[in-house]
Amino acid sequence: ANSLATVTITGAGGQIGYALLFRIASGQLLGPDTAVRLRLLEIPQGLRSAEGAALELQDSAFPLLQSVDVTDDAAGAFDGANVGLLVGSRPRGPGMERGDLLAANGAIFAPQGAAINAGAADDIRIVVVGNPANTNAFIASAHAPDVPRERFTALTRLDHNRALGQLSEALHAPVSQLRDVSIWGNHSATQFPDIAHATAGGRPVVELLEEQLGADAAREWIRDVFIPRVARRGAEIIEVRGSSSVASAASATIDHVRDWVSGTTHGWTSAALPSDGSYGVPDGLVSSFPVQSIDGQWRIVQGLELGAFARERIDASVAELIEEREAVKALGLLG
């Protein structure tokens, strides 16, 4: 290996953590030339599980794995970190009010943001996986004033990959031939999976669907089948599998960071990042966009034309993000 990177995973003792660790240690995150130091951050109740995973990492004898530390101290975990995968969070439980949800996550992501601000490496890249992911990234960034805000991203790559999977099935086309699908807005049921610019084997996906189904049925399929299925796929997985999306979430997390570091080569992908005002999304709001990764930085794809339907759907999801931001402000979680 030519270089060494420190990768910090929060919630490393949980399910997604378990699915992530072995892929990172095998070199799938940063490539075969980069050795990794893993830092596993947990809360006290999760430490034993993370320690168990560390034993198994040792038993896997990964040549690229230089060290594994398990800790419940955020400052130590993020000291010198180059990549932070923020997986541990407090997801919404049954009957939980939004205020309680945001307050519980503020108590997690505010101190983690401060620890990143204090000690992370200059090239730190953060992706928040733990829900509500966009707003958790917004909170962490607010507590890291010395870290450029664009280093704080949230995961919508799973939604993006789910959209590719659905299109592949509907068009009988391999995923490798699909390009330029977009996820806009919040990683929630309001997200907008957009295929207006997508192509399969170089042909517009919408045209192919119209050929296959007829114009009206294609429009209905997109609106009534495709979009809700992608947006509610998490619930479908829980129903079928009896447990939430874990391996696919870990896989999308790997994809997100790998592309961020190494670049996108096959059209664009989707990621949630602080808006620069593009497409009328308020500046600073962590929202999903079509993005390319160039020279180690995410760039929002510019100049896409949005139809009335797309505009309405994006505005609705952005309105939800604004509400979350206002609630977080009102709770005093932005410091």
> Which 141-180 residues touch ligand NAI, going by CB under 6 A?
155, 158
At closest approach, how far in Å is the CB of 53 from ligand NAI?
10
Does 136 participate in binding ligand NAI (rule CB under 6 A)? Answer: no
**187 has catalytic annotation:** yes
Out of 21, 24, 29, 41, which residue is the one contacting ligand NAI (CB under 6 A)? 41
Name the residue nearer to ligand NAI (CB basis): 243 or 302: 243
Candidates 37-45, 57-65, 188-196, 211-219; binding stretch for ligand NAI (CB under 6 A): 37-45
Candidates 43-51, 167-175, 202-210, 306-314; binding stretch for ligand NAI (CB under 6 A): 43-51
Does 335 participate in binding ligand NAI (rule CB under 6 A)? Answer: no
Out of 46, 106, 193, 274, which residue is the one contacting ligand NAI (CB under 6 A)? 46
At closest approach, how far in Å is the CB of 213 from ligand NAI?
29
CA distances from 232 to 87, 190, 227, 258 (A): 20, 10, 9, 26
CA distances from 31 to 12, 186, 296 (A): 21, 30, 14
Name the residue nearer to ligand NAI (CB basis): 48 or 266: 48
Does 286 participate in binding ligand NAI (rule CB under 6 A)? Answer: no
Out of 84, 88, 193, 290, which residue is the one contacting ligand NAI (CB under 6 A)? 88
Candidates 23-31, 242-250, 302-310, 326-334; binding stretch for ligand NAI (CB under 6 A): 242-250
Does 246 participate in binding ligand NAI (rule CB under 6 A)? Answer: yes
Q: What are the tokens at 10?
A: 């929060």
At closest approach, how far in Å is the CB of 102 from ligand NAI?
13
At closest approach, how far in Å is the CB of 294 from ligand NAI?
24
Q: Which residue is nearest to ligand NAI, using beta carbons?
A: 14
At closest approach, how far in Å is the CB of 275 from ligand NAI?
18
Name the residue nearer to ligand NAI (CB basis): 85 or 306: 85
CA distances from 14 to 2, 43, 49, 111, 198 (A): 31, 11, 7, 20, 35
From residue 179 to residue 198, the character string flagging contacts with ligand NAI as x (rule: CB under 6 A) and all else as - is --------x-----------
Catalytic residue (choose from 187, 197, 256, 266): 187
Candidates 6-14, 95-103, 189-197, 323-331; binding stretch for ligand NAI (CB under 6 A): 6-14
At closest approach, how far in Å is the CB of 283 from ligand NAI?
23
Contacts of 170 (CB under 8 A, 6+ apart): 209, 212, 221, 226
Contacts of 319 (CB under 8 A, 6+ apart): none
List residues near ligand NAI by CB under 6 A: 10-11, 13-17, 41-43, 45-46, 87-89, 91, 108, 129-131, 133, 155, 158, 187, 244-246, 249
Residues with catalytic function: 187
